[in-house]
Amino acid sequence: MAPLVRVRQGRLAVALAASALGVLTTLAVPVVVGRAIDQALPTPTDPIPTTGMAPFVVALVLLGIARAACGFVARDGLARVAFGLEFDLRALIYEHLSRLSFSFYDRVQTGQLVSRANSDVRSVQMYLAYAPALVVSTASFAVAVVLMVRIHLGLTVAAVAALPGVYALGVRLRKELFPLSWVVQAHLAEIATVVDENVTGTRVVKSFAGEGRQIALLERAARRLQWATVRQFDTRARLGPAMENLPRIGLALVLLYGGVLAIDGQVSIGDLVVFSSYVVLLQAPFRSLGFLLMLSQRASASAQRIYEVLDTEPEIVDAPDAIELVEPRGDVELRQVHFTYPGRDTPVLAGLDLRLFAGETVALVGRTGAGKSSVARLLTRFYDVDAGAVLIDGHDVRTVTLASLRRAVGVVVDEPFLFSDTLLANIAYGRPDASLDDVRRAAAAAGVDDFISALPRGYDTVVGERGYTLSGGQRQRIAIARTLLVDPAVLVLDDATSAVDAEREELIHDALRTLMAGRTTLVIAHRLSTIALADRVVLLDGGRAVADGPHAELLAREPRYAEVLSSLPDERVAVRR
């Protein structure tokens, strides 16, 4: 955390300085009280003290005011540093998550990431808020020991006699708490995953009456968390009280041995009071030591989980000499492309050759799992090829900047995602500076302007989370409008009209035919009706392009093409053919 701490080192230094001054004022109070007692008690040489208590009272009042001021500055400063670090850490995690590649999200659960960005960050923040108190307590202990030695060495030894035992218990507590803290944080993440999946998949859960199963799943996860948490507190309950009470043995020894010394006249009553006060002051850090050790081990486990994310390097990044793709024509080529998804053994594409000339519309057809959508993901460089190359205008996509590549290639997927924001903001997501007229033209081209205009608040209507307040067809048309507003040179339609009715699909197709003129378009065809948009069709099989040509020609000469068409769920194109 040192780089994040250094950003606020000035405020931290002031807070620590205030804490140190507060410690000094705290340590000065017993000295003043002890001197006051010695002054007030009669002695053989001075049976009737002549000095009053007023100077000591004034000193105590001033020390109290100074201690209060130092406490405010210290606590306020440490809180600001801790919460500032929490803010920085959350921003750092979020920024890093935005740069990580799709392969990372393929293997990590959403709930795990939410837990690391929330509860794990909070654990680190809590420790950073309390850890300086441990440093200050250690400093107060050292100063107190020095003052005690100056009064009487033997009493000092008696006061600190039990502290080695406290240290040994602290080491044992730390060793036992760390693995338990890791397990607790892991089970918190597990619960976050269950809740996230239950909320985002609530329609599936309710459709299959799975509420009981989800509750049982959460209960099992909660019981595992309960077990780990109880074990954690059981460890504290066994070792914590011993750590807190061992220093009291020192207090008993001080009172016993110090009382004998006071009777013999070797120390004054005031010195004995000072010693007793310091022993009590030394107990406070040890009473909180168990709590701080638990926080430290939880923070250590959380920090490791956080840095598992931060230390993951993005696989898809700009090359050092990456160039901007300026005014692309839209000429696309896949050259001997081999690709296997990370963590899988079976290749999806094995030597695929495919060419889309600028302004051409090509439909990819194949059985489920043939690699049609994988071509779109490689084209936008969501993944990198294992071998071969994907080129746009003759440039390997690995040699151009990701931002310019994804401005040049627009994708409409079969499961459109909408943000919980206005319809205007959703359509203008790729061009936040777009005017309302531009947004309306894109919406009209996608066949959704009439629907939006009929809403009470029009384009200012806020859609629900993920756009579930809209129908599937409406979400899909808004996603089409969002892509069309960006005006990409290459348009990828990944079964983009799957959720609309026949009449609306015809309207969208008519608009798309106009907009696709002069634009390279790759149609991922999962149904027969989308094939009608294409100039030619490419059949994928076994990770390769096995047939290429117009729809009617392939239907006449390629039995594998006819076999694939017979499995697609659409009869309208079958009638037209």
447: left (phi over 0), alpha (psi -120 to 50) or beta: left
pLDDT value of position 68:
93
The continuous run of DSSP H or E covering 356 comes out as strand 349-356
Q: What CATH superfamily classification does 2-310 receive?
A: ABC transporter type 1, transmembrane domain (1.20.1560.10)
Classify residue 206 as exposed, middle or buried by CB count within 10 Å of its CB (0-12, 13-18, 19+). exposed
Divide the 577 residues of the chain into consecutive groups of 10 and give the mean pLDDT of each group.
84 88 86 85 61 84 93 89 87 85 79 77 82 72 80 83 77 77 79 74 66 83 88 82 77 84 84 81 66 77 84 88 89 92 86 90 86 88 91 92 89 77 88 89 84 88 74 80 86 69 62 69 78 85 88 86 74 40
Helix H or strand E encompassing 364: strand 361-366
Per-residue model confidence as pLDDT tens digits over 117-150:
777 888 888 888 777 767 776 667 777 788 888 8
What does the DSSP 8-state code read for residue 281?
H
82 alpha-carbon distance from chain centroid = 18
Residues listed for the chain:
577
What's domain 332-576's architecture?
A: 3-Layer(aba) Sandwich (3.40)
| pLDDT score for 420 | 77
Whole-prediction pTM: 0.67
Angle of CA points 183, 187, 190, to nearest 5°: 145
Numbers of helices and strands, H then E, in the chain: 21, 10
- Residue 43 confidence (pLDDT): 61
pLDDT tens digits for 225-282?
Answer: 888 888 888 887 887 787 777 777 877 888 888 888 888 888 888 888 888 888 777 7
How many angstroms separate the CA atoms of 355 and 332, rounded?
6
- Sequence spans of domains, the chain: 2-310, 332-576
338: nearest Cα among 389, 399, 391, 400: 389
pLDDT score for 62: 94
525: left (phi over 0), alpha (psi -120 to 50) or beta: beta
pLDDT at 575: 36
Strands (E), 381-535: 387-392, 395-396, 409-412, 490-494, 520-524
Asked if residues 457 and 425 have their Cβ atoms less than 8 Å apart, the reply is no
Closest Cα partner for 246 from 290, 207, 283? 283
